[in-house]
Amino acid sequence: MKYTETGIIKQEMPKRHIYLLFIIIFVSLLCYFHSDRYTHSLDYLMRMLETRALDPVYKRDLFDGALSGMLNTLDDNSSYFLPKLYKEIDESLRQEISGGIGAVFQVNEETGKAVISFTLPNTPAREAGLMPGDEIILVGDMKVEGLSQNKIREHLIGEVGTPVALEIFRPSTSQTLQFSVIRSRIRLETVEGLKRSKTGTWEFFLPPFSEEDIKTVLVRGKEKAEVSQEAVISGEGRDLSEKFLAQRKIAYVRVTSFGEHTAEELKNTLLMLQKRGMEGLILDLRDNYGGLLDAANNVCDLFLEKGEIIVTTRGRNQQILKEVRASGRKVFDSRIPMAVLINGNSASASEIVAACLQDHSREGKLNVVCVGVRSFGKGTVQELIALGPLPDDHRVVRENMEGTEEFSTQSWEGWHRLWKASPRAAIRITVASYWRPSGKNIHRFRRGEEIAGEDEDWGVLPDDGMEVDFPRTARGKVLSSFSKKYEEFFSKCYYGTLTPEELKNIYKIDPQLKKAVWWEYENISPRKEPSSDEKIL
C-alpha cells in the first residue's frame, strides 16, 4: 500500500491474484475455442436471418424450425412438438381433459344440430342435469348450429373452475333451458366395450350367431363351407350343437390407447366380466397406435404369472438395458380362451401386448390367438422431454390461452407466471428398442432408404389360419365404401344409438371379429350338465 502526492491510497493487486486472473482468462478462451462450433454457427445464422431477411421473423419461429429439422433427421418417431400439440399429447397420455364438462355429443350431418349422446358419470355435465337427447343451441353467446364438432368442443373447453353458459333445447319436454356448468378435469377412458347403454356405461357381451351364421361353418379347414342345419347340429363329426346354438358369454373389450390408467381400467373390467361368467374374451387392439410403455407392461401383468418375461428393451448395438417381468398382479383366468384382434394400425404398446400374449400362449401358459393382419411394426421406445419456457414464450401463451394479457419475461415475476401458464413445447426422441419374450424383433427397421420387407421378421403376425384381411384399412390407408359403413356402425355403438336389430349385423360388418368368435366357440369348454341333485336345488 502506498501514499501518493494527493494523499489518496493506492493499493496494488497481489501477484498471485494477477496470475489467477490470467489463468481464468486463459481457461475461458480455451473453453470458447473448444466449445461446439455448430452452436455458434446456429446462433450466428439465427441473428442474420432475424436482422437481414426480407420479411420480419421471430427468433422463436426460427428455433422451432431448426429443432424440427434436427429431430426429423434421427428417425421416423423422433419429433418436436409445438406447445398446442404437446398439451394434447400430454392430456391423452394422462387420460385427462383439463377444463371439460363431461358431455359427449354428436353433430347431425343433415340438420347441423349438436345433440348430447350421454354424460359421463361424476362430471359437471351430469351434475348440472344435462341429459341425452338435449340439443345445444348456444355455448356462451355463440350459436353452434352448423359448426363442426371440433369447433364446438373448443368453446366448451376452458380453464378449470370457470363456468360455461349453455342454452339447451330438450325435445322430450319441448323446453328451452339455461345451464351454467363449471369446467373440471375430465377423466378419459381407454377401455371400451361393445356398445354403450342409455346411461353411458359399456355393454361387453357379444350377441350369438344368427341361424344364417350358424349354417356357415368351418369344416375340416375349409372356410365358409355351406352346409345344412342338420350338418351343423351334428357338427360334421364334431358336436357343435351346444356350442353354436346356445348363448355363450363371449366378451368384447377394446383398448383404444395406453395411458396412465389403462391397466387399472382393464383390471376392473376383467374382474367384473369374470364375476359375470365370461367364457371367452376378445381383446381388440386394432387401430391402437400405442402410448406409454409402462402402461403396456402393466396390462401384460394382468395376464401373466409372477416372473414371466413381458418385454426386453435394448439400446445401441442391441445391448440389453432392461428385462421387464410380471410382478404377480395377475387377475385373468388362463383357462379362458382369448382372441386378440390386430391390424396394420396396431403399433408400439399394442404390439408389446399382442406379442407378449402370443409368445406365452405358444409356450402353453395361455390360450390366446392373434386374429387379423400383420401389425404396424413399431418396436422403439420414445422419451418425451418437456422444454422449459423460452424467452418469447409470452407470445405463444397469448396465441394458445384465450384472455391472457401480454407480460414481460424480463422480471422474475413474469418468468414465474410464464413457467406456470405456458403450454410448453417438448421433444420426443428414440432411446431404445423393445423385443418380444421369445427374443424376436418387433420393429420394422430401415436400412438407409430401404425398409424391411414383408418376408422379414418384424411386427406381430396373426396365428396360422387366423389371417383375415379387412377392406376397411390397408396399412393405415382408409378405404372407401366399406370403411364408411364400418365407421357408421361403430360410431352408433360408441354413442349408444345402435338398435338391437342393427347389432345382429355385427358379424357381417366385421369379418375379423367373426373369425375370432368362431375360434372362441370352438375353444370354449363345453358346459357341464348339472347333476340331478343340482337340478333339484
Residue 38 has pLDDT above 60, yes or no: yes
Chain segment 248-304, per-residue pLDDT in tens: 899 999 999 999 999 999 999 999 999 999 999 999 999 898 888 899 999 999 999
Residue 409 has pLDDT above 80, yes or no: no
The mean-pLDDT minimum among 53-57, 127-131, 321-325 falls in 53-57
- The reported pLDDT for the residue numbered 197 is 86
Tell me the three cell numbers of residue 360. Answer: 406365452
Residue 364 has pLDDT above 60, yes or no: yes
The mean-pLDDT minimum among 174-183, 401-410, 436-445 falls in 401-410
Q: Which residue has the higher pLDDT, 513 or 413?
A: 513
Chain segment 486-532, per-residue pLDDT in tens: 778 888 888 888 888 888 889 888 889 999 998 998 888 766 554 44
- The reported pLDDT for the residue numbered 270 is 97
Q: One-letter amino acid identity for 444?
A: R
Q: Averaged over 167-196, what is the pLDDT?
A: 91
Q: Is residue 387 very low, low, confident or very high in pLDDT (cuts 50, 70, 90)?
A: confident
> How many other CB atoms are found less than 10 A from the CB of residue 278?
21
3-state helix, strand, coil in the chain (%, to 5): 35, 25, 40
Residue 193 has pLDDT above 90, yes or no: yes
Residues of the chain with pLDDT > 70, as a percent, come to 73
Contact 305, 332 (CB under 8 A): no
Determine the distance from the C-alpha atom of residue 186 to the mean position of all C-alpha atoms in its chain, rounded to a whole number.
16
Contact 309, 331 (CB under 8 A): no
Q: Map residue 4 onto helix, strand or coil.
A: coil
Output DSSP code: residue 130: -
Determine the distance from the C-alpha atom of residue 149 to the mean position of all C-alpha atoms in its chain, rounded to a whole number.
20
Contact 442, 355 (CB under 8 A): yes
Residue 164 has pLDDT above 90, yes or no: yes
Residue 192 has pLDDT above 90, yes or no: yes
- The reported pLDDT for the residue numbered 158 is 87
Q: Which residue has the higher pLDDT, 77 or 148?
A: 148
Chain segment 313-345, per-residue pLDDT in tens: 988 877 888 899 999 999 999 999 999 999 988
Contact 183, 100 (CB under 8 A): yes
- d(CA 384, CA 20) in angstroms, rounded, equals 43
Output DSSP code: residue 22: H
- The reported pLDDT for the residue numbered 413 is 58
Q: Averaged over 234-246, what is the pLDDT?
A: 47
Chain segment 209-233, per-residue pLDDT in tens: 776 666 654 443 344 344 444 444 4
| Alpha helix positions (H), 187-328 | 211-215, 229-234, 241-245, 262-275, 293-301
- The reported pLDDT for the residue numbered 209 is 78
Q: Map residue 81 onto helix, strand or coil.
A: strand
Q: Which residue has the higher pLDDT, 32 or 40?
A: 40
- The reported pLDDT for the residue numbered 221 is 38
Contact 314, 346 (CB under 8 A): no
> How many other CB atoms are found less than 10 A from the CB of residue 402?
10
For residues 445-479, one letter each, b for 16 or more C-beta atoms within 10 angstroms of the residue's C-beta and e for the rest, the string is: eeeeeeebeeeeebbbbbbeebebebebbeeeeee
Residues 6+ apart with CB under 8 A from 314: 320, 321, 432, 433, 434, 435
Give the CA distances from residue 83 to residues 22, 90, 383, 389, 437, in Å, rounded to whole numbers and listed in that order: 45, 10, 17, 10, 37
Q: Is residue 309 very low, low, confident or very high in pLDDT (cuts 50, 70, 90)?
A: very high
Mean pLDDT across the chain: 79
Residues of the chain with pLDDT > 90, as a percent, come to 34
- The reported pLDDT for the residue numbered 267 is 97
Q: Map residue 101 onto helix, strand or coil.
A: coil
Q: One-letter amino acid identity for 229?
A: Q
Contact 295, 310 (CB under 8 A): no
Residues 6+ apart with CB under 8 A from 17: none
